[in-house]
Amino acid sequence: MREEITAWGHQNITALHKTTLEITKDRELTKRGDCIIGVNADKAISEISDAVKKELKKGRKAKVILSIPDYGLSERLEGYGSSGMTFDHGSDIVIRKSDFVCSRTLLVRSDKAACDIEREMVELLKDPQTELVFIIEV
């Protein structure tokens, strides 16, 4: 199964958080949001397909591909679903290195967080015109 979400860059993206990575439907971002790599996303976790949610609730391994198509850059990370996931947050999607689960959590035990994203990609994401494609494959 595959889900594709589009988000955009923002001048306050720093991607420095050591344990989480996030995209959000929110349009604005402060420097405190150091886990956020994309804003103005076209879907929240509550809006991803029921088929993807069902597989992740089984604890399945999944990968996420982060792509900036205009520059030919992409990065891949892997993590796992969890039976405790509710997928009911209305604006955010969060990937975590830990096992913590809340309404925003898409994956746990991820092999990457925001700080692990290639700095070339992060620099491009500081431009609000940069399109980020966030692809979930389970």
For 79, list phi and psi in degrees, rounded to 5. Answer: -160, -165
Residues of the chain with pLDDT under 70: none
Homologous superfamily of the 2-137 domain (CATH)? mth639 domain like (2.60.120.630)
Residues in contact with 32: Cβ distance below 8 Å, sequence separation at least 6, in sequence order = none
pLDDT at 114 (0 to 100)? 98
For 76, list phi and psi in degrees, rounded to 5. Answer: -120, 145
Record the tokens describing residue 76, joined without a space: 């891949």
Question: By the 8 A CB rule, do 63 and 137 touch?
Answer: yes
pTM exceeding 0.75: yes
SS3 98: coil
pLDDT at 67 (0 to 100)? 98
pLDDT at 31 (0 to 100)? 87
pLDDT at 84 (0 to 100)? 96
Exposed/middle/buried for residue 25 (C-beta within 10 Å: 0-12, 13-18, 19+) = buried
Residue holding tokens 């420095």?
16
pLDDT at 29 (0 to 100)? 94
Domain-by-domain residue ranges, the chain?
2-137
